[in-house]
Amino acid sequence: MIAIVDYGVGNLFSLSSSLQALGFTPEITRDPARLRAAERIILPGVGAFGDAKAKLDATGLGPVLREEREKKPLLGICLGMQLLFDKGFEYGEYAGLGFIPGEVGSLKPDLNTSTLKVPHMGWNSLHIVKDDPLFRYFRDGEYVYYVHSYYAKNCADSTLAVSDYGGVAVPGAVRRENVWGTQFHPEKSGDAGLRLLKAFCEL
């Protein structure tokens, strides 16, 4: 069973449908017992960092995720990936889960050009900088789908793959121990994204 954490942030249906299409059994839940029973955990998310962290804190699931990430693979997607870091600076400063060293800052001031729009929205090629089982079925340079205005910074040791946007090497995939994250949406990234999800579910 693959547990998808339900904390009131994000469209969970497309992710659940993608996992079902791959032959896995997803369960959308905020029940600590179900998270503990799961073989894998996925933390999705869309929206603002501070609001999402507040909603996650309200569920009381933070300590459960901290405990379970020692025992099984955990994947954060988009804002869910950003919450894995130490802190985020979206409309203020907020503490993250602290599973991966680094912080989340605004993309716009770091761009080398004013012609590109923020949010970074659409398809971009993903370049692998560190080999990992997550890329078992994924080829270097394949295109994935992004929607974000903030990005992970100061996390080179954990960065697995990057996408260039306006001269910024945006960490597209990260890992520390049993915790993985993708800034892009694998469930919206066509066949390449599905292959990456499949690899995660087989870890």
Gap between the Cα atoms of 81 and 43, Å rounded: 8
67 is catalytic: no
Contact 35/69 with Cβ under 8 angstroms? no
Distance of CA 162 to the CA centre of its chain: 13
127 is catalytic: no
Of 90, 120, 187, 201, the catalytic one is 187
Gap between the Cα atoms of 45 and 26, Å rounded: 16
Of 68, 78, 155, 201, the catalytic one is 78
Gap between the Cα atoms of 98 and 10, Å rounded: 21
185 is catalytic: yes
**DSSP secondary structure letters along 127-175:** EESS--GGGTT--TT-EEEEEESEEEES-GGGEEEEEEETTEEEEEEEE
Gap between the Cα atoms of 181 and 122, Å rounded: 18
CA angle, 128 then 200 then 87, to 5°: 70
Of 90, 148, 185, 201, the catalytic one is 185
Residues forming the active site: 78, 185, 187
